[in-house]
Amino acid sequence: MPEGDTVWLAARRMHDALAGQVLVHTDFRVPQLATSDLAGQTVIEVASRGKHLLTRTDAGLTLHSHFRMDGTWHLYKHGTRWSGGPAWQVRAVLSNAQWQAVGYRLPVLELLSTDDENTVVGHLGPDLLGPDWDEDEAVRRLLTAPAREIGPALLDQRNLAGIGNLYKAEALFLSGVTPWTAVGDVGDLTAVVRRAHRLLHANKMHWQQTTTGSTCKGEDHWVFERAGRPCRRCGTRVAEAMQGEADHPERARISYWCPRCQRGPAPVQH
Average pLDDT, the chain: 95
Q: Looking at 3, 149, 170, 240, which residue is catalytic? A: 3
Question: Catalytic annotation on 117?
Answer: no
Question: Catalytic annotation on 217?
Answer: no
Question: Catalytic annotation on 86?
Answer: no
Q: Looking at 49, 51, 195, 232, which residue is catalytic? A: 51
Question: Catalytic annotation on 168?
Answer: no
| Contacts with 112 (C-beta within 8 Å, 6 or more apart), sequence order | 61, 62, 64, 119, 120
Rounded to two decimals, what is the model's pTM? 0.92
* pLDDT of 246 above 80: no
CA distances from 261 to 79, 111, 126, 173, 212 (A): 52, 47, 29, 7, 15
Burial class (CB in 10 A: 0-12, 13-18, 19+), 76: middle
pLDDT digits (tens, 9 = 90+) for 117-149: 999 999 999 999 999 899 999 999 999 999 999
Q: Looking at 148, 198, 253, 263, which residue is catalytic? A: 253
Q: CB of 158 within 8 A of CB of 124?
A: yes
Q: Give dist(CA 249, CA 159) in Å, integer.
A: 19
pLDDT digits (tens, 9 = 90+) for 60-108: 999 999 998 889 999 999 999 999 999 999 999 999 999 999 999 999 9
